[in-house]
Structure 1
Amino acid sequence: MSDIGPESAAGKRTLRRALLATRNGLTADDVRESAVALAARTLALPEVAGARTVAAYVSVGAEPGTLALLDALRARGVRVLLPALLPDNDLDWGEYAGEGSLARVRHGGRTALSEPAGERLGPDAVTGADVVLLPGLAVDGRGLRLGRGGGSYDRVLARLERAGTRPALLVLLYDGEVVAHVPGEPHDRPVDAVVTPSGTRRFR
């Protein structure tokens, strides 16, 4: 069902621009209220309720907020892993120990990211997660996720596949970001579910 070729790449770029423009129009209150709803819905999922290790990320800008969720997971005794961007766009991982354990890191001209300041655990640390939360801009009815185009999480998904592990793959989005169609490419892997402030949709 994948679309292959330059049309796919161009379609993704067009969709990304439209979705980012909508996100940039959100108010701080919109982002904050959505983050509270997303945390509650995500924490109630059975795969999250039973998880010992969750690989997550720290939201930036107008992304659906994750900090409330990270703190709630940690309060439950869950081990939370957070990514650190490597020069080749792959991801290393470190453990979240509260907001004070984060460092703001700027990679070239990009937006500064909040990354774990402590010990680096290596790119393969993600293979020990029971749940992996993936950032995204959209997901469609097949579970295909639209990322920002850097390829970091494509590498994560490929690493999980090589390791033979099957963590639950979840994307946190705003309600309007569940779309009819995301242009697909051969390397794209569907996610298991999308969580939005108003509900959860499962794909497999």
Structure 2
Amino acid sequence: MTRQEEKARLRAERLALRDAMGAEERVAANAALFAHGLAGIALAPGAILSGFWPIRSEADIRPLLEALRQRGARIALPVVLDRETIVFRELLADAPVVKTGFGSYGPGPEAPEVAPEILLLPLSAFDARGHRIGYGGGYYDRAIARLVAEGLSVTLIGVAFAIQEVASVPFEAHDRPMDAVLTEGGLRWFRQAKMDG
């Protein structure tokens, strides 16, 4: 089995488990994820954090994003521009979100583009070394590479449910591991935390 075939197998397997979560289990998991995120994500006032509007059966981090905004964070969401590119637009308080392509939602074109310091990443699967499997489009990989090429230091925090963890994610040399993962079990750091409390 090739690396890509193994990733596809793990992606399908873990997304099926995520989809199968019951309503009560999902509500409890989202509440725990919120509590761990609020306790563990430290932000300097004015720091730019990109989250995501949940689609399909993703964890719902909207309450966490709003709570972090109340603490002084500037919140951004990814917006798909084309089949290759996402940008990050600031989600101003009370601003609407609109359909932005490929089933996602984000701020409209009038919202300013920003460069986030912290990325909360949706994912299909992850392992204990911080490697992740996304949805297969490579959007975040390209966006992260672009931010790093611009000289920015970006903290990557995956967001998933605990059932999405696998024993090992196939990875390549160019794959950048996450710094941490946030699940209903807690905020687990894989690398030295780069955030100041």
Aligned pairs for 1:72-91 within 5 A: 72-91=67-86
Aligned pairs for 1:1-204 within 5 A: 7-45=2-40, 47-50=41-44, 52-98=47-93, 101-107=96-102, 112-117=103-108, 119-122=110-113, 125-126=114-115, 129-204=116-191
Deviation, 1:151, is 0.5
In 2, distance between residues paired with 1:57 and 1:161? 20
Q: Summarize deviations over 1:81-127 as a string: whole Å, max 9, x none.
A: 111101133112222135651113443xxxx21111252434xx32x
* Gap regions ≥5 residues in structure 1: 1-5
Q: Aligned Cα RMSD in Å?
A: 2.0
Residue 27 of structure 2 aligns to a residue whose secondary structure is helix
In 2, distance between residues paired with 1:29 and 1:105? 30
Counterpart contact for 1:31–1:62, Cα < 8 Å: no
In 1, distance between residues paired with 2:36 and 2:16? 26
Q: Which has the higher helix share?
A: 1
Residue 163 of structure 2 aligns to a residue whose secondary structure is helix
Counterpart contact for 2:119–2:156, Cα < 8 Å: yes
Equivalent AA in structure 1 for residue 105 of structure 2: S
* Gap regions ≥5 residues in structure 2: 192-197
Equivalent AA in structure 2 for residue 11 of structure 1: E
Q: Summarize deviations over 1:42-80 as a string: whole Å, max 9, x none.
A: 1212x5343621111111121111111111122223100
Residue 2 of structure 2 aligns to a residue whose secondary structure is helix
Shift >4 Å, 4+ stretches = none
TM-score by length of 2: 0.87
Counterpart contact for 1:101–1:118, Cα < 8 Å: no
Counterpart contact for 2:95–2:107, Cα < 8 Å: no
Residue 28 of structure 2 aligns to a residue whose secondary structure is helix
TM-score by length of 1: 0.84
Structure 2 counterpart of 1:3? none
- Relative to structure 1, the CA distance from residue 138 to residue 25 in structure 2 (aligned partners, 3 Å threshold; closer, same or farther) is same
Equivalent AA in structure 2 for residue 193 of structure 1: A
Percent identity among equivalent residues?
Answer: 34
In 2, distance between residues paired with 1:157 and 1:95? 17
In 1, distance between residues paired with 2:148 and 2:190? 18
Residue 150 of structure 1 aligns to a residue whose secondary structure is coil
Equivalent AA in structure 1 for residue 38 of structure 2: L
Residue 88 of structure 1 aligns to a residue whose secondary structure is coil
